[in-house]
Amino acid sequence: MPLTLYFAHGSPPSRGVLLLMRKMKLEFDLKVIDLGAQEHLSKEFLKLNPRHQVPVLVDDDLILTESRAILGYLVSKYDKNSSLYPSDAAKRAKIDERLYYDATVVFPAGAQIIVSVLYERVKKIPEKQRENLINTLNVLESFLNQNSWFAGNALTIADISIVPTITTIKALGYDLTKHPKLNAWYQHLESSLPNFEENVNGANSLAERLFSIMDDKL
């Protein structure tokens, strides 16, 4: 049975998994879940993920519901010698460190703003949320002081996990050139990752929904 990815265009973690699957040239069924139409609350989807979130990966009888676990699994299972997620303990620990930072700080910093606009219908981005996001971007910039990648000296799943949030904030009007190393990293990924435009289109569609509610930009 082929892999199946349940995915939403606007969702940064979904787009990260899609970017990796395209890069790895995996064959898979893509099932697009329309969050606006509440397809993630359907009975069938709740059976896959009771937390009603995308992405979800199904591989035979394995169901995975956390994007960063999916990224690690795909490389470990389908390209285990790849530098995207090496088996060396120290290298892998550094990648995991960045993935946890993404899960607990980077993605939530962007997601907070999206939730405030989409669900609380705020017209202006709350100043505290904007500051939090900028502080996070400054930390990301400092991570790039030693290397041009987030974990070591090669592209890894840490970069692939983080980049969709950055694409989203750019789509919301943020000027990334304020963070020169982050901007250079972004441009490199934009020009080298296959099908990157799918990620940009997904971020633009989410930004369009937000701009239809708020009179603000990042």
**C-alpha 62: how far from its chain's center?**
22
Only segment of 49-57, 81-89, 127-135, 168-176 that touches ligand GSH (CB under 6 A): 49-57
CB count within 10 Å of CB 197 equals 11
- Rounded Cα distance, 150 and 31, in Å: 30
Residue type (1 letter), 183: N
CB of 184 to ligand GSH, least distance (A): 26
- Rounded Cα distance, 127 and 181, in Å: 25
Q: Which of 67, 156, 167, 168 binds ligand GSH (CB under 6 A)?
A: 67
Q: Give yes or no for residue 11 binding ligand GSH (CB under 6 A).
A: yes
Q: Which is nearer to ligand GSH, 55 or 86 (CB)?
A: 55
Q: Give yes or no for residue 35 binding ligand GSH (CB under 6 A).
A: yes
- Rounded Cα distance, 116 and 120, in Å: 5
Residue 11 among the catalytic residues? yes
Q: Give yes or no for residue 98 binding ligand GSH (CB under 6 A).
A: no
Strand segments, DSSP code E, in the chain are 3-7, 28-32, 56-59, 62-64
Strand partners, 62: 59
Q: Give yes or no for residue 31 binding ligand GSH (CB under 6 A).
A: no
Q: Please pick, among 11, 14, 116, 161, the residue that the annotation labels catalytic.
A: 11
Only segment of 10-18, 151-159, 164-172, 197-205 that touches ligand GSH (CB under 6 A): 10-18
Positions in the binding site for ligand GSH (CB under 6 A): 8, 11-13, 35, 40, 52-55, 66-67
**Residues assigned a catalytic role:** 11
